[in-house]
Amino acid sequence: MLEDIPTPPPTPLEAAAPPPTPPAAPPYSYAPPYAQASPYAVYGQPPRRRHSAWFWIAIIGGSLAAIVLLFTVMVWSIVKSVTGDSSATIDGLGGSRIGVIDIDGAILDADKIDTQIRKFGNDSSIKAIILHINSPGGGAAASQEIYNEVINVRHEKNKKIVASVDSVGASGAYYIASGCDKIYANDASVVGSIGVIMEWTNYGDLLKWAKMKSVIIHAGTLKDAGDPTREMTPEEQAYFQSVVDNMYGQFIHDVATGRHTTDDKIRPLATGQVWTGQQSLPLGLIDKIGGFRVALMDTASSVGISGEPTIERPAADKKGLLALLSDDSTDLFPNPSKLLDQAPGFYFMWR
């Protein structure tokens, strides 16, 4: 048998030679079966996943939505810049709102309230305006100016304006309310005080006590009428009374016009006195007993707003310390010269 033949021993040359070096392995090039099955596969990597049609539909739809939103914001910005109305909205986005303007305390400056009324009057999303009043009145000219602004916005913009009297709606505040479409007041609200008052402080005796005197040079008999350092003359008394009477007549006429009645019907009520809301209803000074909530819901319903209305109030003026220090106003540090401003004042004010 061949297996029984012994292997000859190596020759001396074969014994001295090093063992043969095995051939080097070729570079690794094995690809898994799933890679070999796809012509698009890259060795050592899984194939790329192909997205479904819904994926691309979602991408395209999202992109279109983003473009529409961006376009909407651009249009809104243009509308705001053209109208100057920071509350301008695009139909369908802003909804229908009721503008509420608070008139609190003494009425001395009409500019701020007039601006708020005009702003709401120009805003198409504001369907009606409520003047929420808690004031004893104020300057005659300031009250009259706000009254005229209310009338203008009602007629020019065809926008409903309603007055809701909180605790007090007297004198100049009632003057403003009379220009509205409707006046609401609580049973215990104070309403009325149709009248004019002129006042100043006479400190002539104080100057005498301090051994001081006022020096005035003027041309014109009545140029220094109302000098707080002396008593009035009979001529000055008659002069100032005529001015007050003229303002009084304007007050009566404007209230009568606003309340859709005659001067003769308002004049008996123009004694300067006030009435409660309960008393003023049969007198025709107000239209309905009710607080702010009643006025709000009635007004919303009258302009076609169903359910709970959205309220829009003017943005509050907020000033930081830097703005106060750099502002030209004298609210923070009053000018001492203002203390010398003792000119007589005419007021539609309940005392």
Q: Which of 296, 289, 275, 243 has its CA nearest to residue 170?
A: 275
164 is known as an active-site residue: no
Q: How many helices (H) and strands (E) does the chain have?
A: 12, 11
Query: What DSSP string runs through 33-48?
Result: HHHHH-TT--TTSPPP
Name the token pair of 46.
Answer: 């899984």
Alpha-carbon distance of 209 to 201, in angstroms, equals 16
Contacts for 348 with CB less than 8 Å, ≥ 6 apart: 137, 138, 139, 140, 143, 171, 172, 175, 195, 196, 197, 247, 251
Burial 186-200 (b: 16+ CB within 10 A, else e): beebbbbbbbbbeee
Which of the residues 81, 223, 301, 319 is marked catalytic? 223
Quick one: DSSP state of residue 287?
S
Which of the residues 125, 171, 178, 280 is marked catalytic? 171
Query: What DSSP string runs through 102-168?
Result: EEES-B---HHHHHHHHHHHH-TTEEEEEEEEEE-EEEHHHHHHHHHHHHHHHHHS--EEEEEEEEE
CB 162 within 8 A of CB 131: yes
Name the token pair of 307.
Answer: 């359910």
135 is known as an active-site residue: no
Alpha-carbon distance of 61 to 69, in angstroms, equals 12
Mind telling me the catalytic residues? 171, 223
